[in-house]
Structure 1
């Protein structure tokens, strides 16, 4: 199993179930290519981020071809799951996962899952994740509160702003549990 990276990495957000299928899910064939209308930048590997969206139509079509009924609750979201090598980019690739000739097929190899997925907010296209910007998880992270920056989206204050800063976020960063949990904190 792969360990968490210590340097900046290039990521690609995929809807589920595609993110998990790319890295191997149960005994299903590994999704060995990604279909895109654009070519990737000159990179040799990409880290796979599971977005929060579920591709219902695609999951039904592929599920029918494989004789399965995918359950969205079986798939993690909002996390970097692992990485793959980009071996070539072509319009012609013979694979169960390849779509029409109008798409570039990013041919993947050597899928590796992380030992522990990394919570992260996804983005479009290729984006950079740095371990220095990973989420701050308060000691009560079992409650599901995670902060992707030192900025609290509920009260719109920065934890580092001293007495005028966000008390909830400052406590969480210190590993303490706030008396009142945020009600409308945006999670990744």
Structure 2
């Protein structure tokens, strides 16, 4: 393992509402313009920016629609989207390119539609902190401060996610995670891509709304 891939108590800062959606197990794909440099537990920190109501509405609509594709209609969203706090963690089990995700036929259509970025980090086993911890975040993947890393695991609890996601991991799908490009400062915004003409107008609109919501963070 190379030096840049060595992390202890890895953490990543996400804007809201994406951070809470991931920790609550609603979001299963973390999108980035760079491949995941770590496997295993990754702590999720919510950035300081308070999300606009329209952003929350767009992302909740997106997830309602892609879960409905798989027949799941009882998605319960977080009541609050706190900022500047450590929220919990997920288990990053792999990383694939967008075309690889789209063509991964053993995954449900809803999961494949969730991917909207060049690289798709595959996230399982979400856990949330009973009491989120205030802290400052950083760009990219970084290590938690030792005192936070020592205290945080004691406050973790499993979440009642809409589905219990487990990715079947063929070895061939791991190739994209070893590519270069780890120094990008992108925040995981969707790329513009052609939408499947067979998707319903409502589903297309939800995807375009999610893309527009994330594009506000482009530099």
TM range (shorter): 0.5 to 0.7
Q: Which residue of 2 aligns with 1:85?
A: 91
Following TM superposition, the consecutive aligned residue runs of length 4 or more in structure 1 with deviations greater than 4 angstroms are 54-58
Residue among 54, 59, 62 paired with 1:62: 59
Alpha-carbon distance between aligned partners in 2 of 1:62 and 1:43, rounded to the nearest angstrom: 26
Which sections of structure 2, spanning at least 5 residues, go unmatched? Answer: 1-7, 66-74, 102-108, 150-219
Q: Which structure carries more helix by proportion?
A: 2
Q: Which residue of 1 aligns with 2:13?
A: 13
Structure label with greater radius of gyration: 1
Alpha-carbon distance between aligned partners in 2 of 1:48 and 1:39, rounded to the nearest angstrom: 17
Q: Which structure carries more strand by proportion?
A: 1
Alpha-carbon distance between aligned partners in 2 of 1:62 and 1:132, rounded to the nearest angstrom: 33
**How far is 1:85 from its partner?**
0.4
Alpha-carbon distance between aligned partners in 1 of 2:115 and 2:55, rounded to the nearest angstrom: 12
Q: CA separation of 1:114/1:15 partners in 2, compared to 1, >3 Å: closer, same or farther?
A: same
Q: CA separation of 1:76/1:17 partners in 2, compared to 1, >3 Å: closer, same or farther?
A: same
* Farther off after superposition, 35-44 or 77-86: 35-44
Asked if 1:98 corresponds to 2:104, the answer is no
**How far is 1:53 from its partner?**
2.1
**How far is 1:55 from its partner?**
5.1
Asked if 1:132 corresponds to 2:147, the answer is yes
Alpha-carbon distance between aligned partners in 1 of 2:51 and 2:120, rounded to the nearest angstrom: 19
Q: Which residue of 1 aligns with 2:41?
A: 45
Alpha-carbon distance between aligned partners in 2 of 1:97 and 1:59, rounded to the nearest angstrom: 19
Is the Cα contact below 8 Å between 1:35 and 1:98 reproduced in 2? no
Alpha-carbon distance between aligned partners in 1 of 2:137 and 2:91, rounded to the nearest angstrom: 19
Aligned length, in residue pairs: 120
> What's the TM-score, normalizing by structure 2?
0.47
Secondary structure of the equivalent of 2:115? coil
Alpha-carbon distance between aligned partners in 2 of 1:129 and 1:84, rounded to the nearest angstrom: 14
> What's the TM-score, normalizing by structure 1?
0.54
Structural mapping, 1:142-181, within 5 Å: none
Secondary structure of the equivalent of 2:120? strand
**How far is 1:124 from its partner?**
0.6
Alpha-carbon distance between aligned partners in 2 of 1:16 and 1:63, rounded to the nearest angstrom: 12
Q: Which residue of 2 aligns with 1:122?
A: 137
Alpha-carbon distance between aligned partners in 2 of 1:64 and 1:103, rounded to the nearest angstrom: 22
Structure with bigger RCO (C-alpha 8 Å, 6+ apart): 2
Alpha-carbon distance between aligned partners in 1 of 2:61 and 2:51, rounded to the nearest angstrom: 14
